[in-house]
Amino acid sequence: MFVELSHPHGKDSQGTRIIMISRRNFVRAAVGGLAAAALPRHAFGMEAAFDRNARIGGLDFGVQTFSFNGLPNGDARIPTIIKCMHQVGITACGIQSGHVEPPGRTETGWWITDRNLPGMRESRERARQWRLTVPSSYYTDLRSRFEAEGCRIDYFGMNFNETFTDAEREAELKAAKALGVKACYASIRLDECARLVPFVQAHQVRIAMHNHNNIHDPQEFGTAESLEKALAMSEYFMVSLDIGHFTAGNNDSIAFIRKHHDRILNVHLRDRRKNNGPNTRFGEGDAPLAEVMRLIRDEKYPIDCFVEYEYGTLRTPVDEVNACFDYCRSVLT
């Protein structure tokens, strides 16, 4: 059985509005729908009642804006992020630089493997000049826009790399200060950490290393060992542990959190299969999401839990992020 739903607030640029429901899941959905009818928060097609207290089971939750894929470029981007947060009913976000900087600036990241293509050097320089000349009011205004809507930016994602000049590294740490975030989070390499040490010491800005699952390159944050090397470099280096990627690299999230809970600012909640397997819906992969959240709750670790939705689906990002939070509620209550 297939059901077509319209999503008046959906921002999926692909426009696909189809979900698949098996007979078994249709029955589940029907039963769930009856239950949901009693709850005002989940009225279909209506904006969720905004929940300013984004605590579930005693834990502080947030969402990675990466989850809202298909965002528009230009002036509509930030309002769309805020609207998605309202629809989900979540207060805090971790926002990536690509969602903050003008389009084109994102072409400076680690994902560029060929920097010798025509125009690449010029593009990189334009990005640098923008970062070096943008006034701090750009970031304080951005912060105000979120706060005016009852939201806040807790983490700022900046993927430093070898193409950054020292002035650029400094500018980004100042941007983080202007945003008033708890910390930066960064998908970077160990060798870049070494370059960042004097800057985080001088500016006293924390950077939380966001792991992936390349376990073959010791410079990449794919193992507990590489993260521990960064932690040893500076007290301002922390960890933003992505549970899904850590699992895909066949690492033990529970053991790492127990050992380093005082250096972990947040966990990114994502489910994946082991052995570099794909992302899955929450609860269907190998990542110990429920165990991690219960551990943080029971041990009262001051670690934020941020949903990072990335699995394949035909539904809208808002629907899937809601499903992720529903899973979190289900295992904590």
Partner 1 sequence: MRFQSLGILGVILALGSQSLRAQATSANDAAMALEPNAAVLERGKAIFRLNECNYCHGIDLTRAPRGARADLKHSPLVGADENGNLIGLAVLNGLPMSQTSMPRFGDVITPDQLVDLAAYIHFQRQAERYKELTALPDRPGDREEGKAYFNGTGQCTTCHSPAEIAGAVKKLAAPALKENTLRPTAPAAANPRFDEGYRAHRKMVERITDDEFLNLLAYLNSLRP
- The residues of the shown chain that bind partner 1, judged by CB under 8 A, are 2, 4, 13-16, 18, 20, 22-23, 69, 106-107, 110-115, 117, 120, 187, 189, 212-217, 220, 245, 248, 272-273, 275-279, 310-314
As to burial, measured by CB atoms within 10 angstroms (0-12 exposed, 13-18 middle, 19+ buried), residue 123 is middle
CB of residue 165 vs partner 1: minimum separation in angstroms? Answer: 20
Q: Rounded CA gap, 127 and 129, in Å?
A: 6
Q: How far is the CB of 237 from partner 1 (least distance, A)?
A: 18
Asked whether the beta carbons of 152 and 92 are under 8 A apart, the reply is yes
Instruction: Decide whether 97 or 213 has the Cβ nearer to partner 1.
Output: 213
Smallest distance, partner 1 to C-beta of residue 77, A:
15
CB of 295 to partner 1, least distance (A): 26
How far is CA 166 from its chain centroid?
Answer: 26
Nearer to partner 1, 52 or 216 (CB): 216
Alpha-carbon distance of 82 to 173, in angstroms, equals 24
* Choice between 89 and 157, CB closer to partner 1: 157
Nearest partner of 168 among 77, 97, 228, 217, judged by Cα: 97
On whether the CB atoms of residues 306 and 270 are closer than 8 A, the answer is: no
Q: Please, which residue, 203 or 281, has the CB nearer to partner 1?
A: 281
| Residue placing its CB nearer to partner 1 in the complex, 28 or 259 | 28
Taking the C-alpha atoms of residue 297 and residue 171, their distance in angstroms, rounded to an integer, is: 36
- In the chain, the amino acid numbered 198 is P
Residue 238 per-residue DSSP state: E
Give the shortest CB-208-to-partner 1 separation in angstroms.
17
**Collapsing DSSP states into helix, strand and coil, what is residue 158?**
coil
- Supply the minimum distance, in Å, between the C-beta of residue 6 and partner 1: 12
Give the chain's end-to-end CA distance (angstroms, integer). Answer: 31
Among 208, 215, 311, CA closest to 267: 208
Helix (H, G, I), strand (E, B) or coil at 310: coil
Locate tokens 């947030």: which residue? 62
Q: With contact defined as beta carbons under 8 Å apart, do 267 and 242 qualify?
A: yes
Looking at the Cβ atoms of 182 and 272, the one nearer to partner 1 is 272
Name the token pair of 42: 């989940």
Shortest distance, position 43 Cβ to partner 1, whole Å: 24
Pick between residue 120 and residue 290 the one whose CB is nearest to partner 1. 120
Q: How far is the CB of 266 from partner 1 (least distance, A)?
A: 18
Q: Based on CB atoms, which residue is closest to partner 1, 20 or 255?
A: 20
